[in-house]
A and B are shown apart, each in its own frame.
Chain A
Amino acid sequence: MATIQIRGLVKRFGPVTAVNGLSFDVSPGTVTGFLGPNGAGKTTTLRILLGLVTADAGTATIDGRPYRELPEPLHRAGAVLEAAGFHPGRTARAQLRVQALAADADASRIEDILDLVGLAGAADRRIGGFSLGMRQRLGLATALLADPEVLILDEPANGLDPEGVRWLRGLLRGFAAEGGTVLVSSHLLAEVAQTVDSVVIIDGGRLLAQGPVAELTAGRAGLEETFFQLTREASR
């Protein structure tokens, strides 16, 4: 199964260094939370990992290869980076047809995936009329359609109702239990604490801590307290 490896990653946008020498690994069979305050460099790191942004230095690989060099990349990694990233005039079912063709995925999975994400009843509605939570579910459907080994999700719980958050938790746990690799960025620390096996905490583009939740929070009140303590120390 696929391992995510980030090594010495650097990305500058003009005078701003968004990612500054970041290194960490994500192992198969685990859900890893990618945490950091706003502007910490999480989204930039994920976009570099997915070949959307070019790093100034360092490497970001999935199973030892940059995303752009993966054959049939959607079969290796499914990603949800922005819930708004759909044409508003296309229906959910048509969106998945496009995705199935793009990924060379089995189109007969579309109905099952729509069922899985709870959008079967809205499959023929135009996405422009979807709520944020429905778009998140559709994003997850597109990510899962090609049966990937890796899931890379940026704030996937945004817009989901409590039932949706619980459903997402079960989905990610189930995916990892089958050997999949999950990297999920979030600022919902209480939710992350219930979902992930390990965390990567960054701030200012630098790694603050990485490891199993139990190890990092040992002797502290919990993940939230650990997070605030680490980010406070980093900002001094």
Chain B
Amino acid sequence: MTELVFPIAAPRARRIRFTRLVRVELLKLTSVRLGYGLLAAVLVLTPAWTSIEASRAGKPNGPAPLFTASGQTSIIAGGAWALIFAIVLGVTISSGEFRHHTATNTYLAAPGRNRVLAAKAVAGAVGGAVFGLAAYAVTLVVGLSFTGAHGYRLVIGAGTLADWGIGHVVGAALLGAIGVVAGSLVRSQLAAIVGVFLWTLVIESLLGGLFESARPYLPYTAAAALAGLPLGAANFGPSGGVAGVAPLPFAAAVALLAAIALAGALAAARTTVRRDVT
């Protein structure tokens, strides 16, 4: 009998490292245009919003005058669009697997689905952090430019500005991870994205208006507070505007958002993530 020659490499008997799963998700994210498109939207909407707020400052129904701390806050802590688009980015990372039928290849490469979900959440957080950082850099430059152009002195301290920068990055990162979890639970990309805009622009505004004491605990509002926005200032609906209750402290807001991401991930792991991929 002829002896067969097997040139095929022997398999490596080790588990797939989590860091590799994260790198795969980041490579997926950076190898298509969607993420760049969302970032571009953030970079257009953020300065546009800041400019509108600056032009309305000191006018009836507008933000406080730009020589006040409140007025300067309204244009410098202006990264709300980064927070919203961070959630959308997260949604696309997970629900895109079902929209484009790529879940099969993903789970063939990494059969441990909960670890894939965790890796996607990390990738969503990294993408969200980039959105937050970029938006804050833009709104800071635009806000300071408006303040300087009017000849006003900056009344916000460097420490506060740094805190807001950290808050933009951390808040957007946590919302990016929450977006991944939401997309994993809903699976329909369109429904999930519509849901993100409805929640952030309408539902939180209504809930915050109806139940003011609950407003600090609403996730988008909590992330906006991390980024330095006064409570309610990031709400666009009729009950937007500064509320009468205090925002959550930084650590409490971070803990709240992390807990929401974790609870959602556990729910997804027990339901949608386990489903057959047919």
Interface residues of A (CB under 8 A from B): 1, 29, 44, 47, 50-54, 67-68, 70-76, 79, 81-82, 84-91, 94-95, 97-99, 101-104, 142, 147-149, 178-180
Contact = CB atoms under 8 A, between A and B. Distances in A.
Contacts of A91: 31
B277 interface: yes
25 contacts: A1-B8, A47-B277, A51-B108, A51-B111, A67-B111, A71-B13, A72-B16, A73-B109, A74-B108, A74-B109, A75-B11, A75-B12, A81-B104, A85-B105, A87-B28, A89-B34, A90-B28, A94-B31, A97-B27, A98-B27, A101-B24, A101-B27, A102-B110, A142-B105, A178-B8
A104 B12 contact: yes
A99 B100 CA distance: 16
A98 B110 contact: no
Interface in B242-260: none
A52 B276 contact: yes
B101 interface: yes
B116 to A, nearest CB: 10
A98 B31 contact: yes
Contact of B12 (A54, A71, A95): A71
Contact of A90 (B31, B107, B111): B31
A179 B6 contact: yes
Given A71-B15, A89-B34, A101-B23, A47 B276 contact: yes
Contact of A179 (B4, B16, B104, B108): B4
Given A82-B104, A98-B24, A99-B105, A54 B11 contact: no
B160 interface: no
B107 A52 contact: yes
Contact of B100 (A75, A86, A101, A149): A86
Chain B contact surface mostly: loop
B109 A53 contact: no
A77 to B, nearest CB: 8
Contact of A29 (B4, B12, B112): B4
A9 to B, nearest CB: 14
A104 B20 contact: yes
A133 B178 CA distance: 38
B194 interface: no
A94 to B, nearest CB: 4
Interface string B8-35: 1101111110001001100110011110
List the 3 shortest-distance A-B pairs measured between CB atoms, nearest first: A102-B109, A179-B6, A68-B111
A201 to B, nearest CB: 23
A72 B11 contact: yes
Given A53-B278, A179-B4, A79 B108 contact: yes
Contacts, number: 110
Given A29-B4, A101-B23, A104-B20, A87 B276 contact: no
B100 A68 contact: no
Contacts of B112: 68
B102 interface: yes
Nearest to A104: B20
Contacts of A67: 111
A4 to B, nearest CB: 15
B5 interface: yes
Contact of B102 (A50, A86, A104, A148): A86
A72 B12 contact: yes
Contacts of A86: 100, 102, 105
A179 B100 contact: no
A73 B111 contact: yes
Given A71-B14, A147-B9, A149-B11, A98 B28 contact: yes
Nearest to A53: B276
A109 to B, nearest CB: 11
B107 to A, nearest CB: 6
Contacts of B108: 50-52, 73-74, 79
A84 B110 CA distance: 19
B7 interface: yes
Interface centre among A47, A86, A89, A98 (most CB of B within 10 A): A98
B32 A87 contact: yes
A47 B278 contact: yes
Given A82-B101, A149-B11, 18 more contacts: A1-B6, A47-B277, A52-B108, A67-B111, A71-B12, A71-B13, A72-B12, A72-B14, A72-B16, A75-B9, A84-B101, A85-B102, A87-B32, A87-B100, A89-B33, A101-B20, A147-B8, A178-B7
